[in-house]
Amino acid sequence: MESTSPLKSVTITTDKPPPPAEQTTASPRTMDLSDSPTTQPPPPPTADPQPLADDPLNNPYASLNDLCHDLTSLQDLTSRGSWLTILDKVSRARSLSLLTKPHEHLLYLTFNALALTKLRRFVDAIAELDSLEDLKSPQYLYQNYPHIYPNITGSMVPFALRWLHAELPSKHNKRQKTLDRFYTLLDFVRTKLTDKSSEKLSDSSAELWRKREVFVMNSIISHHLSHKEFGICIDLIRDLINRSESESLDSRTMLLSKLGYVQMQYGDLEGAKGTFGFIENLVKEGNGEVELRNLVSRNKALMYMVGKDYISAVREYEECMERDGTDVVAINNKAICLMYLRDLSDSIKVLESALERIPTMALNETLVVNLCSMYELAYVNHSDIKRTLSSWIARVAPDDFDSSCTRM
């Protein structure tokens, strides 16, 4: 018999699952708390449709494959989580000298480093990036290759590569270097946004850089949050909210929700309640879509869970599921509430049904570790049941799925 209760591994979920490294050791928490915000995967390496980096959406190429050798295939493999295949394709392209232009080498290196990172091969990913010069080097400027890129200026470094350059040192116990690089990257992004005022960027490109600003800020907040630096997190989120007053309702409500989640972790329940109430009023005034109404309901459910009113929380999550049957956050959290209500049979059915009905969306380490915890509580022969689950996961999961979450 194990000396620790499986309840210690139960993870209540937020809008996106937390990183695998946190899942098997985390105390019970909500997905809305843990993802607000956790470290997120970088955008695809072609987030800047190269090569016009100064205005990344002003692209002279007709297709991704015109931009770079077999890029469409790499993008497709990325969306399917086929990271091992990406490593093979990059290795083959390099060995056969299929990459003929400087920006193609950078794009393939980015895909390779991203795949290594997703597969948790951090030492190899860091070594890949160490093979580069400083990202500000003239070597990575289009104008230094006029015979290859006539009339094109700017940096050819993909944004995803800049993100990896900042994130990877933290995987080698160099947190301060990661924070320094992320703040430098934030300055870089905001410099791009100032170009909008001087009309150097189109509106669509400015919108892309605003999304990147939020993305980088989320990464910074994640690192501060992991060290319980709540005051810094709240200041950063409020600064981002102030900068987004002209943004869409969706953007503002998501940022405000992040503020509420951090307030909850900080212990400021009244502050979180006020933030969530403000969000609800915004959504009512704006006749919010299903996604926003579900966000409001999930926020309410969180407050009920803090007060241990699991019946009311289940009701809110069920409303979410009625509006959107693929709301994995609501599905997972409803199951956790049922477990706390000592209805293990129904809590297991909720998660198993989700895996059968929407496997692509529901299959994440958070949900699986919770399901396995329920198996351990409910069944004497839980090892056999988990073994069956593990076999199914091995057939359908992406390459970066952390199979240790089944605790076999």
Q: Specify the 3-state DSSP secondary structure of 141.
A: strand
Q: Please report the sign of the dihedral spanned by the C-alpha atoms of residue 245, residue 251, residue 257, residue 260.
A: negative
* 115, 63, 68, 157: CA torsion to nearest 10: -70
Q: How many CB atoms lie within 10 A of CB 234?
A: 19
| Residues 6 or more apart whose Cβ sits within 8 Å of residue 57 | 49, 202, 204, 205, 208
d(CA 41, CA 216): 11
Region 86-107 average pLDDT: 95
d(CA 135, CA 128): 13
Tell me, rounded to whole angstroms, the distance of Cα 60 from its chain centroid. 30
d(CA 195, CA 42): 23
d(CA 267, CA 234): 13
Region 122-126 average pLDDT: 97
pLDDT of residue 160: 95
Higher pLDDT, 257 or 51: 257
d(CA 116, CA 386): 28
Segments in 341-381 forming alpha helices (H): 344-357, 359-362, 365-378
Segments in 228-326 forming alpha helices (H): 230-243, 249-266, 269-285, 290-306, 310-323
d(CA 84, CA 404): 18
**Residue 141 pLDDT greater than 70, yes or no:** yes
Residues in the chain: 408
**Residue 6 pLDDT greater than 60, yes or no:** no
Q: Specify the 3-state DSSP secondary structure of 155.
A: strand
Tokens at 340, concatenated:
């706390």
184-234 tens-digit pLDDT: 999 999 998 887 666 667 778 888 898 999 999 999 999 999 999 999 999
Please answer whether residues 234 and 263 qualify as being in contact, where contact means their C-beta atoms are separated by less than 8 angstroms: yes
pLDDT of residue 22: 32
Please answer whether residues 63 and 72 qualify as being in contact, where contact means their C-beta atoms are separated by less than 8 angstroms: yes
Please answer whether residues 304 and 312 qualify as being in contact, where contact means their C-beta atoms are separated by less than 8 angstroms: yes
Element (H, E) at 89: helix 83-95
d(CA 349, CA 194): 52
d(CA 254, CA 256): 5
pLDDT of residue 25: 31
Tokens at 403, concatenated:
């199979």
- With tokens 């931009």, the residue in question is 67
Element (H, E) at 80: helix 71-80
256-299 tens-digit pLDDT: 999 999 999 989 999 999 999 999 999 987 666 899 999 999 99
Tokens at 262, concatenated:
């951090």
Higher pLDDT, 76 or 27: 76
Please answer whether residues 383 and 408 qualify as being in contact, where contact means their C-beta atoms are separated by less than 8 angstroms: yes
Of the pLDDT bands very low, low, confident and very high (cuts 50, 70, 90), residue 303 is very high
pLDDT of residue 19: 33
Q: What percent of the chain has pLDDT over 90?
A: 72
Rg value, the chain, Cα:
23
d(CA 408, CA 396): 18
Higher pLDDT, 363 or 52: 363
Using CA atoms, how far residue 86 sits from 13, 90, 338, 395, in Å, is 30, 6, 41, 18
**Residue 39 pLDDT greater than 50, yes or no:** no
Tell me, rounded to whole angstroms, the distance of Cα 316 from its chain centroid. 25
Region 179-187 average pLDDT: 97
Return the bridge partners of 141, or none.
155
DSSP state of 310: H
Q: What percent of the chain has pLDDT over 70?
A: 82
**Residue 67 pLDDT greater than 80, yes or no:** no
Which of 209, 207, 128, 133 shows the shortest CA–CA distance to 164?
128
* Range from 248-252, 333-337, 403-407 that averages highest in pLDDT: 333-337
At CA 304, angle to CA 8 and CA 374, rounded to 5?
30
d(CA 210, CA 8): 39
